[in-house]
Structure 1
């Protein structure tokens, strides 16, 4: 006898089909929810940095390194070349102006000096001989003038006497004419002799003046030569400390070759290297600060070297106020160089967020502090600690300033304690 078999309503096939459909619906619904709403990420507050937006004094500063140098350095070069014969002092010695440092020898200069001295002696001797000859010539001319004067006076006496006698008819015409001719001759002779004596005096003075000038030029040349020989002994031009000595006994030094330097110890300056990016913003008068032994000190730019080398240029800064006690040449200082005046601005502390956002947006905390969401911002200038906020944030706001590297494209952070 046949038995009716009851048909099962929930077989395995139907259950699996319904489960698959349900899973697909859930998947589609979840995908729609995730894509249609904001993407969120749970983060622990201990792993992030939350900073507050504030308003306060702001100044554009850059960190730079400076090296302490003497305020003045004088370079010692060989004025004349020669062989190093003797070193009077060692590197690092404190010198007084005029103290000898080293001695060079140069036989050519010494021989030239001896030759020049001989020339001066010979010229002086020749001048003396010329002066004596001129004096003898002048004496001779004066004696000749005396004889001419005497002859003239005698001719004049005879002429006047014969003229008187002739007028008295005491002498004849012939005798009177002879006296007159003799008188005219002696008169012409006297004038000529006086003219010769005058020209001789002028000529003698000119010769003596020329000889004097020649002697002075020769003496000046001798003085220059003596100075050259004297420069073979290198001396300290000012008070200071001898450094970077580069000379050994027996060494040959050419003219103009570097021998060392003298550091004036009356004060210090700081030589600072600055990135060429800031060359248009650097000028004399800007200030910088540094801390040493828990005290703050101020420096001021006194000179800007605009030549760029290796992407950097240099400036010299001097202390504006007290100088740190015990500061030494070659010491390195970490300086904050101010590029602007101080002003009140809205400030955002610096952080790792900038690498991912470029300063265009940031995660801002909600009022309840449980979430943080993206907001667009605009930043301006910056210094070592802060960015200047132009738009998007106000004092009192709190933002996440740590790195966003692991956040991807998340729109909102859920903060978990």
Structure 2
């Protein structure tokens, strides 16, 4: 009798098939999870910088390296060319106005001065001779005038006498007529002599005036020449400190060549170079400050040099309050130049994250602080310490501000 053999449901082949299918499904699921989920990386919290977003005062400013310079500098140029014969002081000496600095020699100038002095002496001698001749001529004419006056009076006396005698029939007409003719002649002679004397006086006066003017012009030329020779001794134009003296004994200096400068010690200014990117935002009156010996000092831009050299332009700043006593010419100061007024803003501390993100996103910590995930944001103004946050973050948020160089395209940081 045949016996029915019962078929086994879980055969080895079937179990192996189910196990294979299950493994394949698990593999597909794991692959999907790993490729479609967020990429993560474990990060040691001791190797990152976490900063908190805060609301606070914000002012846009740029850091500058300022050089301390004298408030006023007077340049020394050679008024006349020559050879350096003597140096009375050295670079760095404190000078009083008029103190000699150096002496130049110029034989051409000195010879011209001698010739000019000789010309003045010759002209003065000629003037004296002309004046003596004019005086002698005037004396001669005055003597002639005296003779004429005497002859006139004698002719007048004789005429009046003969006229009276003629009227009384004491003398004849012929004798009276002779006295009358003689008197008329003396009248005309007297008149002519007076005119000649008057013209001589005017002529002599004009000649003396012309000679005097010529003498004055020559004297002025001599004074100018003496001044040019005197300029061979270079003197301090103001009180101050002599700096940048460029002259050595025996060296030839041309007219107009720079010899040095005098720094007026009445005050200081700060000169700084600024990137040309800011040239449209920098103008007179902008405020700046710097710290020295735990104290802050205020500055204000008083002059902007608009000429750009090597991508930078310069500004001069003056002190608006107390001036530090310890600063010296040539000292470098770290200056903060404010480009706007102080306002309230959402502040994000600066960090290395900006190099990889360009300020477009940042890793923000979760509420439990165990992870950090990407969030988009928008930044505005900046200063050396903070960025101004316009969108994407709020006060109290904590973000990773250290460098993201090792995170690649990770979407999430797991903080350990």
SS of alignment partner, residue 279 of structure 2: helix
Quote the offset at 1:325 in angstroms: 3.1
How does 1:213-292 map onto structure 2 within 5 Å? 213-292=213-292
Unmatched 5+ stretches in structure 1: none
Query: Which position in structure 1 is the counterpart of 2:385?
Result: 385
Quote the offset at 1:243 in angstroms: 2.2
User: Which of 93-102 and 120-129 deviates more?
Assistant: 93-102
Q: How far apart in 1 are the matches of 2:253 and 2:413?
A: 75
Give yes or no for the alignment of 1:10 onto 2:12.
Answer: yes
Q: How far apart in 1 are the matches of 2:175 and 2:25?
A: 175
Query: Which position in structure 1 is the counterpart of 2:322?
Result: 322
Deviations 1:235-268 (A, max 9, x none): 2222222222222212222212222222222222
Deviations 1:299-354 (A, max 9, x none): 22222211111111111222232232332222111111111111222211112222
Q: How far apart in 2 are the matches of 1:377 and 1:362?
A: 7
Cα RMSD between the aligned structures?
A: 2.4
Give yes or no for the alignment of 1:399 onto 2:360.
Answer: no
Q: How far apart in 1 are the matches of 2:155 and 2:188?
A: 12
- Give the aligned length: 410
Unmatched 5+ stretches in structure 2: none
Q: Moved runs in structure 1, 4+ residues, more than 6 A?
A: none
Q: How far apart in 1 are the matches of 2:30 and 2:176?
A: 166
SS of alignment partner, residue 245 of structure 1: coil
How does 1:10-409 map onto structure 2 within 5 Å? 10=12, 15=16, 21-409=21-409
Relative to 1, partners in 2 of residues 1:164 and 1:373: Cα closer, same or farther, differing over 3 Å? same
SS of alignment partner, residue 66 of structure 2: strand
TM-score with structure 1 setting the length? 0.91
TM-score with structure 2 setting the length? 0.91
Deviations 1:349-369 (A, max 9, x none): 112222222222222233333
Deviations 1:131-189 (A, max 9, x none): 11111111111111112222222222222233333333333333333222222222222
Q: How far apart in 1 are the matches of 2:316 and 2:103?
A: 35
Deviations 1:213-233 (A, max 9, x none): 111111111111111111111
Relative to 1, partners in 2 of residues 1:172 and 1:337: Cα closer, same or farther, differing over 3 Å? same
Quote the offset at 1:370 in angstroms: 3.0
